[in-house]
């Protein structure tokens, strides 16, 4: 391949290639590092991180559906302090850029977490998770363009790190929120987070997962939906887009690149196919070579 | 639910060594149909076989990533390192296990393992009680093999609802000291639950290993705890437990299990795939474990 | 079974049992009638019907996804005149109630179609499809509570037939539209129609389906999403609910009844398992017997 | 796109008789692997077999309704009524066909058929040209069988890119009058396309049956149409075409095909599963057919 596989997400964040691994499906990267090489990755997006440590929801937390899975982890994470102090130094040794996925209960928490991570070596960027369906109010920012914009503006003020905003698909029109975060000063958009779903235990006559029973659906089942969301966003915003949802093969990744994504994240597939990211990357590179691509953008559909 | 407990799960219980896991494209070598929906399935997976230890498990990819989507966790039941094979003992209960039952020799699927933490093996020989309820027998043939190989005396206590759910004798290794059978319907062995007569047995062994449905394990735990408290036994108790698994290697955080901080006190959340599936019984919060719905699907 | 399996959807519409077949997946019932018995059905919901005949979209119109299918049929139908004149008389001979699914480009068209069907013997009820994603503006009513309410009010004025409103799930909060159509005078709500999705042909570097490439996703893939939508609606409205989305087995149908549905519709499964509705019905009846249910409502989850 | 054309598709072209279709839980009796990804798979499905006619198809349920979700349409390739078997000739191209290739004798899947409208059979014997490109050979063994049984003289013209994609001789019935082979790479038979030398052949037959990729069929149609216009042949031309299918029996409206009102004029939308898959060539709108993307997945 003569083409440069790198992808720029703005504000100096250049990924060596478009294939990243999605937040919450790769921990903080240390498990995968033990199991095999990870140096091929374009980026690692960390588990959602909050100000204080969170224990997450009570079990059960996951349930399988047709070509999908529901999760209600509840943002179990060690808190930003541990991430900044213990994890980031280890990431500094990696060639793979690590983007920390940030969650919060309100603007203040997001701002504090982002501020704490701002000058930490080893943190290549921030991904604001304004779309986690598994904590109360986790989606308020993601479903309200005004609040989404205000959040991005507030975070923008405290950090020079590249700022990716991760959108929820559980809205009537995802482009409204996309435009709002673009206006608010985001550097890139990742789309999408999980879809609100439910699984019922007929035996127990109640939802399988605790609380109200709703949880986030991910996996191949959602790919057509997420792809439509990315294609819509592509027409609405100028920002680099990271496509997420049901990617488990080179063909899947290519579909997102055609739909308008600049990069992609593999999520659930990491669970059932730990080697998937390396395969997808080499598949993409093979495709680029076979088709003499000059840039990933050559793939883009322009009707 | 904010607490600084995440790290302490592994501090408290240790965690699995992920560097031994291999995702091997394994070839099915046999499917032995047993009573009812029970069967033993064997794969040629020499790298996994070479690393597998008793109580550890593998994640089987039944379909290449569609339906069923997730891998299915099964304990290594028998391992033949020289032949490079691993066997799993299971029942066709849902979509994944039923598809496995339909595999033919020659078919290939991915087997990822070994994963999790297994049973601790004695440093010097003594007497072990292996206590299994129903499908809980699965991990024990391999454990027996290694115990007997180390000169351990093995007592095998196998209970189930009826004789049709007992682990088949012909798959057991030779060298077992005593075999006790209990069925609830009395169709084979002594009628009743495995917990009956347990206190006496506990008094004469150094180690107890148990695997089976949660209510059974909880009963075993309570019985053991009171024997220990009364000073009637100094045996250790390790149990192998189950949780729905997304990955099997600690990244999905889906297999949460309630740990005990001290005794029955509520402790941090642990991961079945990394702190377990085998844990010293006192490290689990049994009240919370029992509160979980039986139906995981 | 001692229990009466019938289900009342209001305004005198009583279905012999909860198992119906969804609009667009059973034609007008005549193909299925040729292939085997249909007398067991609780209801047939007809293909979406417009004022004038429609030829539908150019092919290709369908594409398979993981545990789902995308369709962009574009409301091919013979027009209300043919339905009222030629089809309804045949339905009169059936014991199965037939509900005509009605679509339109604006309030006027909906009103005219409903008016035309109002006194036609053989038509047991109307299902307003305010949620078809495959014609331009097909979702405007379904995504805007105010317009949805106005539409229902307008139709309500011209017909005494039982009025079911079929909601789209492609909204931030389906309960807002649900409440609006309840206020507007609907007798029942069916939920949900298809989800907006897309499939891309990497070879051609464009969507598989024509136009903007978006189409409606149905099948097992959407079941967890649709189930969550029904559960949410159950807490928001009093009206009878008809659960739709990915039902292909007795267990699936039971999940919807637990989530709060009064009846269900089987859609895509009719394509790959033409015998599915009979199996689901007998499975439900077996379940009711085994569990000594007094009413389907006994199944309902009440947290 | 509002027009009063829906009924006229069946008025124009007739429609399939759905009352003959049976959804039979069929047992795989053999999978014969042929060259490359090609194979013939046979099922014991006596009720379907008894009703199947040449050119008609069946819908095979590869998975019980998950992945792949939809049934897959395949033309009856060979039928043995006395044994109650139907055979399909196919290539493992995508998920569905690849799963079928992995079936083992004894495995059971649902086979729904016969569906669609098949080839018309001659009322009095004459000479037929059967023209197949690649996988388009599938429906012809059954058709030949019936033609030969009626005393028809059969000319078999089989073309493909290379010899590895030709229909295997040993599966053809006996009694074929002449066999012509064309491969694009010249690896067997005459090098070139099936359309070469076609005008001459058309002049000596009463009936032409064609099946293969759309571009091939369109070329055959154009060649035939000009021979007919020039008065060089009075042969009929029937083609078997494909469309993605949701149901196979007219309810999903997914298998839309462009019909011709008169000659090449744009006509109504027809359904491949009900007006087809076999149609008189002049009833199709070939320009529109060729405009459809080749990749249907
Ligand atoms: C560490 C571990 C070791 C195990 N070892 C064995 C064994 O040796 N033999 C054996 O028969 N079974 C064993 N099980 C249970 C086995 O994993 C389940 O029976 C199996 O996953 C069921 O899959 P299914 O598709 O047939 O059922 P389904 O009900 O269709 O499964 C649906 C989902 O629920 C999960 N699930 C269902 N039952 C269980 C369960 N009991 N535990 C965890 N997840 C479950 C599945 O993995 C899947 O994600 C073990 C479980 C764990 C966690
Ligand atoms: C009436 C009819 C008769 C056919 N007879 C034969 C036959 O005898 N032998 C044979 O090899 N093939 C035949 N085909 C084509 C065959 O149906 C497809 O090759 C098959 O569906 C591909 O499925 P897949 O899962 O392997 O491929 P995938 O690409 O995974 O299929 C994805 C989707 O596209 C559809 N699809 C893909 N290719 C085609 C196609 N060419 N035509 C229609 N739909 C397609 C599939 O049905 C499925 O819905 C026939 C098609 C039709 C419509
Ligand atoms: C178990 C699990 C945990 C997740 N945790 C997070 C998270 O902490 N933060 C976040 O932004 N997204 C989280 N996600 C969403 C994924 O990052 C991704 O957006 C989604 O799963 C869709 O991609 P997929 O279909 O490839 O899995 C999680 C997903 C799963 C399955
Ligand atoms: C091919 C096809 C055509 C459809 N046509 C209509 C329609 O005309 N009107 C309508 O309200 N819904 C239509 N639907 C939506 C279904 O009625 C149903 O709401 C949806 O498919 C979800 O159910 P399922 O997952 O069981 O298929 C159509 C669905 C399919 C698959
Ligand atoms: S199974 Fe994923 S963390 Fe244990
Ligand atoms: S395949 Fe459904 S209408 Fe033809």
- State both tokens at B138: 């699965």
Give domain status of residue D2, yes or no. no
Q: Residue D108 in 3-state DSSP?
A: strand
Res A134 pLDDT > 80: no
- CA A242/CA A253 separation, integer angstroms: 11
pLDDT given at position A2: 78
pLDDT given at position D295: 43
Residue A17 pLDDT class (50, 70, 90 cuts): very high
Give domain status of residue A42, yes or no. yes
Q: Please report, rounded to a whole number, the percentage of residues in chain C having pLDDT higher than 90.
A: 93
Residue B7 pLDDT class (50, 70, 90 cuts): very low
Boundaries of domain holding B35: 18-115
Contact residues for D152 (Cβ-Cβ < 8 A; gap 6+): D122, D125, D126, D127, D128
C-beta of residue B211 within 8 angstroms of C-beta of residue B138:
yes
Query: Could you write out the DSSP letters of every residue in D152-163?
Result: -EEEEEEEESSG
* Phi and psi angles of residue D64, each rounded to the nearest 5 degrees, phi first: -75, 60
Give domain status of residue C252, yes or no. yes
Contact residues for A108 (Cβ-Cβ < 8 A; gap 6+): none
Q: Please report, rounded to a whole number, the percentage of residues in chain D having pLDDT higher than 90.
A: 87
Give domain status of residue C62, yes or no. no
Q: Which of A27-31, B231-235, C86-90, D260-264 has the lowest mean pLDDT?
A: D260-264
C-alpha distances in Å from residue D241, one per residue of C161, D55, D215, D255: 44, 10, 11, 11
Give domain status of residue D10, yes or no. no
Chains near C (3 or more Cβ pairs under 8 Å): A, B, D
Catalytic-labelled residue, pool A117, A126, A132, A189: A132
- State both tokens at A248: 């488990």
Chain C: closest CA distance from residue D176 (Å): 36
pLDDT given at position B5: 45
pLDDT given at position D11: 83
pLDDT tens-digit series, residues D130-160: 999 999 999 999 999 999 999 999 999 999 9
* Phi and psi angles of residue B257, each rounded to the nearest 5 degrees, phi first: -130, 145
The 10 Å Cβ neighbour count of residue D97 is 20
ω before A60 within 30° of 0 (cis)?
A: yes
Boundaries of domain holding C255: 7-57+76-196+218-299
> Per-residue pLDDT averaged across A296-300, rounded?
97
Looking at the fold, whether D75 and D29 belong to one and the same domain comes out as: yes
pLDDT given at position D2: 45
ω before B68 within 30° of 0 (cis)?
A: yes
Looking at the fold, whether B232 and B127 belong to one and the same domain comes out as: yes
Looking at the fold, whether D124 and D225 belong to one and the same domain comes out as: yes
- State both tokens at B250: 């600690």
> Per-residue pLDDT averaged across B64-82, rounded?
94
C-beta of residue A55 within 8 angstroms of C-beta of residue A139:
no
pLDDT given at position D5: 45
C-alpha distances in Å from residue C33, one per residue of A79, C29, C39, C91, C98: 62, 6, 9, 11, 13
pLDDT given at position D166: 96
C-alpha distances in Å from residue D278, one per residue of C271, D152, D185: 21, 20, 29
pLDDT tens-digit series, residues A193-229: 999 999 999 999 999 999 899 999 999 999 999 999 9
Question: For residue A162, which of A12, A41, A263, A20 has the smallest C-alpha distance?
Answer: A12
- CA A221/CA D76 separation, integer angstroms: 33
Looking at the fold, whether D138 and D227 belong to one and the same domain comes out as: yes
Contacts of B109 in chain D (CB under 8 A): none
Sign of CA dihedral C172, C174, C179, C184: positive
Domain-terminating residue out of D115, D136, D158: D115
Mean of all residue pLDDT scores within chain B: 93
Q: Is C121 on the interface with B (CB under 8 A)?
A: no
Domain-terminating residue out of D115, D132, D148: D115
pLDDT tens-digit series, residues C233-270: 999 999 999 999 999 999 999 999 999 999 999 999 99
Give domain status of residue D105, yes or no. yes
Question: For residue C214, which of C135, C140, C141 has the smallest C-alpha distance?
Answer: C135
Domain-terminating residue out of D115, D132, D164: D115
* Phi and psi angles of residue B234, each rounded to the nearest 5 degrees, phi first: -120, 15
- CA A207/CA C228 separation, integer angstroms: 10
Contact residues for C175 (Cβ-Cβ < 8 A; gap 6+): C232, C233, C235, C236, C237
- CA C70/CA C214 separation, integer angstroms: 9
Give domain status of residue D106, yes or no. yes
pLDDT given at position C302: 86
Domain count, chain B: 3
Q: Is C201 on the interface with D (CB under 8 A)?
A: yes
- State both tokens at C103: 């679509």
Domain count, chain C: 1
In terms of Cβ atoms closer than 10 Å to its own Cβ (0-12, 13-18, 19+), residue C52 is middle
Residue D89 pLDDT class (50, 70, 90 cuts): very high
Question: For residue A48, which of A79, A20, A15, A4 has the smallest C-alpha distance?
Answer: A79
Give domain status of residue B2, yes or no. no
- State both tokens at A105: 């209960």
Task: Return the residue matching tokens 């998937």.
Answer: A276
pLDDT given at position A138: 57
Residues facing residue B128 across a β-bridge:
B154, B207
Q: Please report, rounded to a whole number, the percentage of residues in chain D having pLDDT higher than 70.
A: 95
List residues of C whose CB lies inside 8 A of any A CB: 65-68, 70, 143, 170-172, 195-200, 202, 205-207, 212-214, 217, 219-225, 227-228, 231, 246, 251, 254-255, 258-259, 299-301, 303
Contact residues for B200 (Cβ-Cβ < 8 A; gap 6+): none
Question: For residue D65, which of A221, C243, A66 has the smallest C-alpha distance?
Answer: A66
Chain D: closest CA distance from residue C33 (Å): 9
C-beta of residue D9 within 8 angstroms of C-beta of residue D269:
yes
Pairing of strands B153-160, B127-133: parallel
Q: Please report, rounded to a whole number, the percentage of residues in chain B having pLDDT higher than 70.
A: 95
pLDDT given at position C137: 60
> Per-residue pLDDT averaged across C149-164, rounded?
97
pLDDT given at position C132: 64
Q: Residue D52 in 3-state DSSP?
A: coil
Looking at the fold, whether B249 and B232 belong to one and the same domain comes out as: no
Q: Is A64 on the interface with D (CB under 8 A)?
A: no
Q: For residue C294, how far is its CA from the centre of ligand 4 (angstroms)?
A: 31
Res B25 pLDDT > 90: yes
pLDDT given at position C133: 61
Looking at the fold, whether B224 and B247 belong to one and the same domain comes out as: no
pLDDT given at position D291: 78
Looking at the fold, whether B212 and B251 belong to one and the same domain comes out as: no
Tell me which residue has its CA closest to atom 17 in ligand 2: D73
Ramachandran sector of residue C194 (left: φ over 0; alpha: ψ -120 to 50; beta: rest): beta
Looking at the fold, whether D82 and D164 belong to one and the same domain comes out as: no
- pTM (2 d.p.): 0.97
Residue B4 pLDDT class (50, 70, 90 cuts): very low
Looking at the fold, whether D124 and D231 belong to one and the same domain comes out as: yes
Which among D66, D104, D107 has the least Cβ separation from residue B67?
A: D66
pLDDT tens-digit series, residues B140-189: 999 999 999 999 999 999 999 999 999 999 999 999 999 999 999 999 99
- CA B202/CA B223 separation, integer angstroms: 9
Mean of all residue pLDDT scores within chain C: 95
Contact assignment for B249 to A31 by CB distance below 8 Å: yes
> Per-residue pLDDT averaged across A184-198, rounded?
98
ω before B114 within 30° of 0 (cis)?
A: yes
Give domain status of residue C228, yes or no. yes
- Could you tell me the CATH number of the domain that includes residue B42? 2.40.30.10
Res B16 pLDDT > 90: yes
The three-state (H, E, C) secondary structure of chain C, written as one string? CCCCCCEECCCCCEECCCEEECCCCCCCCHHHHHHCCCCCCCEEECCCECCCCECCCCCCCEEEECCEEEECCCCCECCHHHHHHHHHHHHHCCCCCEEEEECCCCHHHHHHHHHHHHCCCCCCEEEEECCCCCCCCCCHHHHCHHHHHHHHHHHHHHCCCCEEEEECCCCCCHHHHHHHHHHHCCCEEEECCCEEEECEECCCCEECCCCCCEEEEECHHHHHHHHHHHHHHHHHCCCCEEEECCCCCHHHHHHHHHHCCCEEEECCHHHHCCCHHHHHHHHHHHHHHHCCCCCHHHHCCCC
ipTM: 0.96
Give domain status of residue A133, yes or no. yes
- State both tokens at B12: 């408290």
Res B6 pLDDT > 90: no
- Could you tell me the CATH number of the domain that includes residue A169? 3.20.20.70
Angle separating helix axes A145-158 and A174-184, nearest 10 degrees: 30
CA atoms within a 13 Å half-sphere pointing along the CA-CB vector of D156: 27
First to last CA, chain A: 27
Give domain status of residue A181, yes or no. yes
Catalytic-labelled residue, pool C84, C100, C132, C276: C132
Contact residues for A251 (Cβ-Cβ < 8 A; gap 6+): A283, C202
Q: Is the CB of C71 under 6 A from ligand 4?
A: yes
Q: Residue A176 in 3-state DSSP?
A: helix
Q: Where are the alpha helices (DSSP H) in chain A?
A: 30-35, 80-82, 88-92, 107-117, 140-143, 145-158, 174-184, 223-236, 250-259, 269-272, 276-290
pLDDT tens-digit series, residues B104-131: 999 999 999 999 999 999 999 999 999 9
pLDDT tens-digit series, residues A73-123: 999 999 999 999 999 999 999 999 999 999 999 999 999 999 999 999 999
Residues facing residue B184 across a β-bridge:
none
Q: For residue C280, how far is its CA from the centre of ligand 1 (angstroms)?
A: 26
Looking at the fold, whether D31 and D109 belong to one and the same domain comes out as: yes
Give domain status of residue A235, yes or no. yes
> Per-residue pLDDT averaged across B61-79, rounded?
93
> Angle at the Cα of C151 (from C145 to C156), degrees rounded to 5?
125
Give domain status of residue C125, yes or no. yes
Looking at the fold, whether B227 and B184 belong to one and the same domain comes out as: yes
Looking at the fold, whether B278 and B219 belong to one and the same domain comes out as: no
> Per-residue pLDDT averaged across A38-49, rounded?
98
pLDDT given at position B198: 95
- CA C34/CA D19 separation, integer angstroms: 5
pLDDT given at position C139: 61
Residue of chain D minimizing CA distance to C35: D19
- CA B171/CA C216 separation, integer angstroms: 52
To the query of whether residue A132 is one of the catalytic residues in this protein, the response is: yes
> Per-residue pLDDT averaged across D20-24, rounded?
97
Task: Return the residue matching tokens 């009513």.
Answer: C141
Give domain status of residue B267, yes or no. yes
Pairing of strands D108-115, D22-33: antiparallel
Q: Residue B21 in 3-state DSSP?
A: coil
pLDDT given at position C36: 93
């Amino acid at each position: 391949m003569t083409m440069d596989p790198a992808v720029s997400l703005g504000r100096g964040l250049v990924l060596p290639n478009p294939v990243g691994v999605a937040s919450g499906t790769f921990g903080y990267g240390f498990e995968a590092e033990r199991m095999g090489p990870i140096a091929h990755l374009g980026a690692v997006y960390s588990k959602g991180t909050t100000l204080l440590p969170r224990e997450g929801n009570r079990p059960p937390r996951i349930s399988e559906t047709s070509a999908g899975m529901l999760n209600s982890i509840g943002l179990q994470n060690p808190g930003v302090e541990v991430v900044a102090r213990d994890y980031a130094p280890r990431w500094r040794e990696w060639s793979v850029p690590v983007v920390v996925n940030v969650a919060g209960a309100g603007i203040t928490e997001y701002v504090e977490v982002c501020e704490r991570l701002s000058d930490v070596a080893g943190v290549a960027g921030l991904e604001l998770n304004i779309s986690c369906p598994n904590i109360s109010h986790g989606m308020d920012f993601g479903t309200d363009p005004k609040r989404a914009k205000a959040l991005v503006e507030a975070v923008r003020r405290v950090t020079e790190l590249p700022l990716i905003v991760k959108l929820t698909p559980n809205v009537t029109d995802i482009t409204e929120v996309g435009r709002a975060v673009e206006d608010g000063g985001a550097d890139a958009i990742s789309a999408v987070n999980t879809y609100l779903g439910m699984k019922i235990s007929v035996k127990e006559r109640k939802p399988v997962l605790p609380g109200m029973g709703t949880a986030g659906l991910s996996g191949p089942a959602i790919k057509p939906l997420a792809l439509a969301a990315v294609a819509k966003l592509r027409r609405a915003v100028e920002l680099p887009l990271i496509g997420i949802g049901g990617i488990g093969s080179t063909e899947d990744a290519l579909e997102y690149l055609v739909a308008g994504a600049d990069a992609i994240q593999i999520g659930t597939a990491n669970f059932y196919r730990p080697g998937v990211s390396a395969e997808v990357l080499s598949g993409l590179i093979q495709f680029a070579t076979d088709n003499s691509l000059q840039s990933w953008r050559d793939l883009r559909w322009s009707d | 639910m904010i607490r600084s407990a995440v790290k302490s799960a592994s501090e408290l219980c240790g965690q699995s060594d992920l560097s031994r896991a291999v995702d091997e494209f394994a070839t099915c070598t046999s499917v032995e149909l047993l009573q009812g929906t029970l069967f033993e399935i064997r794969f040629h997976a020499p790298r996994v076989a070479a690393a597998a230890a008793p109580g550890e498990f593998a994640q089987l990819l039944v379909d290449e990533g569609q339906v069923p989507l997730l891998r299915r966790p099964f304990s290594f039941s028998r391992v033949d390192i020289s032949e490079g094979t691993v066997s799993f003992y299971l029942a066709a209960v849902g979509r994944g296990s039923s598809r496995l039952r339909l595999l033919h020799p020659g078919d290939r699927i991915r087997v990822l393992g070994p994963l999790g933490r297994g049973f601790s093996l004695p440093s010097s020989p003594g007497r072990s009680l292996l206590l299994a309820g129903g499908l809980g027998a699965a991990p024990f043939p391999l454990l027996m093999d290694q115990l007997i190989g180390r000169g351990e005396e093995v007592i095998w206590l196998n209970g189930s609802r009826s004789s049709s759910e007992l682990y088949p004798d012909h798959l057991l290794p030779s060298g077992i000291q005593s075999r006790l059978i209990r069925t609830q319907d009395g169709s084979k062995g002594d009628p009743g639950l495995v917990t009956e007569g347990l206190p006496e047995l506990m008094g004469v062994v150094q180690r107890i290993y148990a695997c089976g449905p949660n209510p059974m394990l909880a009963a075993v735990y309570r019985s053991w705890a009171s024997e220990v408290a009364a000073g009637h036994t100094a045996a250790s108790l390790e149990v192998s437990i189950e949780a729905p698994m997304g990955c099997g290697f600690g990244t999905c955080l889906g297999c949460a299990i309630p740990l005990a901080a001290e005794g029955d006190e509520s402790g941090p959340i642990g991961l079945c795939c990394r702190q377990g599936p085998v844990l010293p019984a006192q490290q689990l919060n049994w009240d919370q474990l029992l509160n979980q719905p039986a139906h995981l699907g």
